[in-house]
Structure formats: structure tokens, C-alpha cells
Chains A and B, each alone.
Chain A
Amino acid sequence: MTRRTRLTIFLVGAGCVAAMFVLAVLGMPEFGGSHHVYRDLAVHAAVLHRTANVVSSVNFDQRAVDTFGEETILITSVVAAAVLLRPAEGETERRIPRTGRNLAGTRLLGYVLVPVTAIVGLDLVIHGHVTPGGGFQGGIVLATGLHLLYVTGSYPALDRLRPISAFDVTDALGAATFGAVGLAGLGFAGSFLTNIMPWGTFGQLFSAGTVPVLNVAVGLEVFGGMVVLLAKFLQQDITVASKGEDGEA
């Protein structure tokens, strides 16, 4: 394909996208308007199931199947990345070099913030159906918080604190719990991921039926998945050394 043909095809495609984009933007409701059909329906459905955080209700109750799909994508990509990043033939794990060149202030801040982020992450997961947050956000915060130990320069401590095999299991367990709750809905109420548990009292910890259970499941899965993913990258970077200095393709 010549450069000219490529350019023509690009211009035709870009023109179509631009035209459709302009049409879509012109057809949108005005910015900051007060008429929202979806919001009214979603808030009503969330209150009906005693879910204070409407976003959680949409994610884990009204459109839980979408979230299930997303979580499946997440676990699949973590598995794929882990397969790609495993030590290849001719590579061995080596002793971790000691760096210890971080500033004292950075180290102190890291150590202080590890427990703080852990508590914030747990709170986000557990209260996801009552206040802003949820399993995904909480899991990300937990995984990021753990890696503050890497920022402090103590990779060995991080390595001890996260046995990768345990987090593999956490990841799979979270995904399996999500599926099991879905199947329970199918068995007891006739459709996948129906909110079958008692709804409880609005705004309390025990409310919203299956939403907090799914939040914890997603929290486990995201936490496990992110830790495994980052651990594989860090391993590649820090502890894997190739045997020969050159020559392998």
C-alpha cells in the first residue's frame, strides 16, 4: 500500500468519525442541565434496594453483569501479562541488589503512609455501598499502598509481605465469588446476579443485599490482580538476570 492510498483511507475514515462526533455532540443534552432520565430511574431503583451509594447500585446491582464482564477482562489481562513476564529460558533469579539511596524523608513518609493507605483501602471496600468508593477503588488503593514499600527502597520487605502465590489465589477467589453470587441469583431468583440477599436498612453497613458482598469480591480480585501484575514487572526488573551476557535471541 502506497503512502498516498494510506493517507486517502485515513482521511476518509477521519472525516466520517469527525462528522459523527459533531452530530453526537450536537445531539447531547446541554452541559449542566437538570433533566436526566437515567439518573431518575437509577436513583429510584437504588433507593428501592436500600443502597445509599447509587453508583455502587448501578455497578453491582442494576448492571452487575457489565461489572462481571469487566472483572473477567481484568483477570484475563493479569493472567496474560503474568505469562508474558515469566522468567524465560536462560534467565535466573538473582540476589536482590541493595540500593538504599533513598532520602530519609521519603522512607519515613512511605512507612507512615503504608498503614494509612491500608485502612483507607479497606474502608473504601467495606463501605462502598454506603459512601463513595467500592471494591475496585479500594483494591487499587490497597495494591498501591503496598507498593509504597518499594518507594521506601525496601524491596526485600515488600517481597516478604506479598507472597505472590497467595495473591494469585486472592485474585481467583474474588472472581469466583462474583461468579458464585451470580449463580446463586440464577438458582434462587431465576436470573443471573439478581440481588437475592435481604436489603437491610438504608445507609447502614448491612444494607443493599448482595452489593457489599460483590464489593468485597471485586476488592479481593483487584487487589490480588494488581499486586501480581506489579510484582511480575518488578521481578523482571529487579531479580531476574539473564545467564549469558549476550547472544540469545
Chain B
Amino acid sequence: MTALIVLVLTLVAVAGTATVMADAPERQAVTLSVFGLALVMVFMVLQAPDVALSELGVGTAIVPLMVMLAIRTMRKDRRERSGSGDGDDRGDDS
């Protein structure tokens, strides 16, 4: 049991560091999702399924999705303002 706790906590530390070190925000959204999944495992191992469920929904799905959508909205806004209105609008379908 203790070994399992040490393992999942290490996973959280690694995923957290990776999230902080990720350079681009859209990559950060993906690592944030992995970090959320690591936290889900911690909560499961520590016998808190309710918290694990919340984290699974919010941390690994909703928040990264919202970050992605916010980034795309900002990029679109910036592109329209700078007036370089050429093509490839749907270039990065994620």
C-alpha cells in the first residue's frame, strides 16, 4: 500500500513538473490533463472516490478543454485584428 502511495505521488510530482515546464499553453493543457489523471489515481489510492470523480471530470476533461477553446478564441481574435485573413482557419483541429 505504501509503495503504491509513493508511486502515485511520484507520478503527481513528475506530471506537475512537466506541466510547469511545458512551453506552449496548448501543450500545457494536455499535460494538465495527465496531471489531473495522476491526481485521480492519488485520490483512488487514498480511498476518496468522490473526490476522484470530481477531479476526473473537472481536472482531466473540462479544464483542459476550456483552456484549448480559450486559446483558439484568442488566436482567432488576434488573427482577425492583425488582418491577415488568409485561409487555413481550421488548421489545427484538436
- A interface residues with partner B (beta carbon < 8 Å): 53, 55-56, 85, 97, 99, 101-102, 124, 132-134, 136-137, 140-141, 143-144, 147, 226, 229-230, 233-234, 236-237, 242, 245-249
A229 to B50, CA, bound (A): 23
Which of A144, A229, A242 is close to B61, meaning CB atoms less than 8 Å apart?
A144
A247 and B85 CA atoms in complex are apart in Å by 12
A233 to B67: give the CA distance in the assembly, Å. Answer: 10
Chain A neighbourhood of B58, CB < 8 A: 140
A242 CB contacts on chain B under 8 angstroms: 80
B68 → A minimal CB distance (Å) = 9
Chain B's interface size range is 20 to 34
- Among the stretches B12-20, B29-37, B70-78, the one at the interface with A is B70-78
A-side contacts of B69, CB under 8 Å: 230, 233-234, 236-237
Is residue B65 within 8 Å, beta carbon to beta carbon, of the partner chain? Answer: yes
What are the 5 closest A-B residue pairs judged by CB atoms, nearest first?
Answer: A246-B83, A140-B57, A132-B49, A233-B69, A137-B53
Contact B73 A233 (CB under 8 A): yes
- Determine whether the beta carbon of A230 is less than 8 Å from that of B65: yes
Would you call B54 and A137 a contact (CB within 8 A)? Answer: yes
Specify which chain B residues have a CB less than 8 angstroms from the CB of A229 in the assembled complex.
66
- CB-nearest residue of chain B relative to A245? B85
Complex Cα distance, B81 from A249, in Å, reads 8
Complex interface: chain B residues within 8 A of A248 (CB): 81
Interface centre among B53, B72, B89 (most CB of A within 10 A): B53
Contact B73 A245 (CB under 8 A): no
| Complex Cα gap A248–B77 (Å) | 11
User: Which of A97, A141, A246 interacts with B85 by CB under 8 Å?
Assistant: A246
Q: What are the residues of chain B within 8 A of A245 when measuring CB–CB? A: 80, 83, 85
The distance from the CB of B21 to the nearest CB of chain A, in whole angstroms, is 21
Q: Which one of B53, B62, B80 contacts A132 once the chains associate, using CB atoms below 8 Å?
A: B53
Would you give the shortest CB distance from A137 to chain B, in whole angstroms?
4
Residues on B with beta carbons closer than 8 Å to the beta carbon of A134: 50
Which one of B62, B69, B83 has the greatest number of beta carbons of chain A within 10 Å? B69
Given A132-B53, A137-B54, A144-B57; 6 other pairs, CB 8 A cutoff: A85-B73, A134-B50, A140-B57, A140-B61, A233-B69, A246-B81
